[in-house]
Every structure is written in structure tokens, then in C-alpha cells.
Amino acid sequence: MFRRKLTALDYHNPDGFDCKDETQFRNCIVWLEDQKIRHYKIEDRGNLRNIPSSDWPKAYQKYLQDVNCPFGVQERQEAVDWLLGLAVRYEYGDNVEKYKNCQPLAASGNSDKTADPLVNLDSNSPDFKAGVMALANILKIQRHDDYLVMLKVRLHCMLFLCIKIFLLNGVPVALDKHILGFDTGDATLNEAAQILRLLHIEELRELQTKINEAIVAVQAIIADPKTDHRLGKVGR
């Protein structure tokens, strides 16, 4: 869960990072704020930098709130993963020219079949299990002993929910006629992304309709002159 993002951020020890080690964990948080996120001014980072302090958890809790992290101090792995994602976004934003021409990794020799992105996952990894459990809690779905099966069920449930939401609008759509514009490497996720994009377009249409209605209403007020025959003029 952490190694790829830490590597992308040029962290000094991405392979050896242990989120459960308190010292490593605190040092990583301070490094992210100092080097990548930079939410605080330098002079305001003192409490967060004071790693040995017994008040550090309070400073960390405040930091999570200040950066609008949806996870709390008790959800350590989820919070760290969220902060890493935030740092990656900032890193890209600061170096757009450097990354915009990056090419995707070359496909494997067997190009006939799309590789399953779940094949290389370590389903016994504590980080993987924590991520799956966090997703299960968010979706409020029953747990399963096999975490890999559990993840696949979650993905299909997310797709089903997206389809259900879309069908509530009463508009049947052939997904194969709509170009997604990118490939996630998984057919199920591609379909979910297509549905979410169509939902977003539908919301934009609704917004435009409301804007048009507001314009018409305003025009009806300002463009409706009334005649006062006593004054011998047209207008208010």
C-alpha cells in the first residue's frame, strides 16, 4: 500500500517503512509535511516536528483536521495512505512538465489477454488487509475470510451501486458506445468509471437547466414594462 507511493515521492526507505513503528511513523509524517505537502508555514511546524514529545499525537490530530483528512488518529494506515496520496498530487502539481510526458509501463509479452491487476497483490499483507477492511466499513458490507475475494466483491458492489444509481434516472445507456478516454486495466473498473462520468454529465446538464431557469426568471422581472396611463409613459 505504501511502497509505491513512497518510492514515487523519493522517500529514503520505501521498502523498509513500517507504519506500526512509532518512530518511523512520526518521522514519515514530518517528512511529508516538510518536503511535499507544506500545509503549514515553516514557523508553524514546531509541534509536529517535536517527535519525542508526549503531545505529538495532539499535534498530529490537529494536522489531520487542518488538511481535511477524512481519517482520524486511530485509523493510522488509512490516514498515512491518504496523506501519501495528497503528497503525490502536490508532487505532480509542482512538476507537471516533468511528469506529463511519462509513458505507461510496457505491457507484458502476452498482449492477447488483459492482465489482472489483482494478481500481483499480496493478499496477506497487513496494509492490503487494512485497505480492504476500510473499504468494507465504508460500503457497510459483510466481511469475508479471504481478503482478495473480499476486494473483488467490493469492486463489483461498487459497480452495481453505480449502475443502480444511473438506472434510477430512467435512461438506459449502452456503455460500449461511450469512450472512457483512459484504461484502468480492469474491465469492471472501466465500466464503473464510464457510469460515473455519465452521471457527472447528467449533473452538469441539470445545473445548466437551473441556470437557464434563473436567467429566464430574472429576464421576466427586468423586461416586463408596465404602462401607467395616468403618467402618459411606459415603465415603472
* Dihedral sign, Cα of residue 33, residue 34, residue 38, residue 44: positive
Grid coordinates given for 190: 472501466
User: In whole angstroms, how far apart are CA 55 and each of 36, 51, 60, 68?
Assistant: 23, 9, 9, 20
pLDDT score of 112 more than 50? no
Helix (H/G/I), strand (E/B), else coil: 20? coil
Do 60 and 71 form a contact (C-beta atoms < 8 A)? no
b/e string for 34-72 if b means 16 or more Cβ within 10 A? eebbebbeeeebeebbeeeeeebeebbeebbeebebebe
Cα 84 from Cα 93, distance rounded (Å)? 14
Question: Of 59-73, 93-107, 196-210, which gets the smallest average pLDDT?
Answer: 93-107
Question: Of 35-49, 107-121, 196-210, which gets the smallest average pLDDT?
Answer: 107-121
pLDDT score of 24 more than 80? yes
Average pLDDT, the chain: 75
pLDDT score of 92 more than 60? yes
Terminal Cα-to-Cα distance of the chain (whole angstroms)? 68
pLDDT band for position 4 (cuts 50, 70, 90) = confident
Q: What pLDDT is stored for residue 89 in this prediction?
A: 86
Cα 30 from Cα 23, distance rounded (Å)? 11
Domain boundaries, the chain: 1-100, 123-169, 172-227
Mean per-residue pLDDT, 214-231: 68
Closest residue by Cα to residue 186 from 165, 163, 162, 159 = 159
pLDDT band for position 103 (cuts 50, 70, 90) = low
pLDDT score of 34 more than 90? yes
pLDDT band for position 66 (cuts 50, 70, 90) = very high
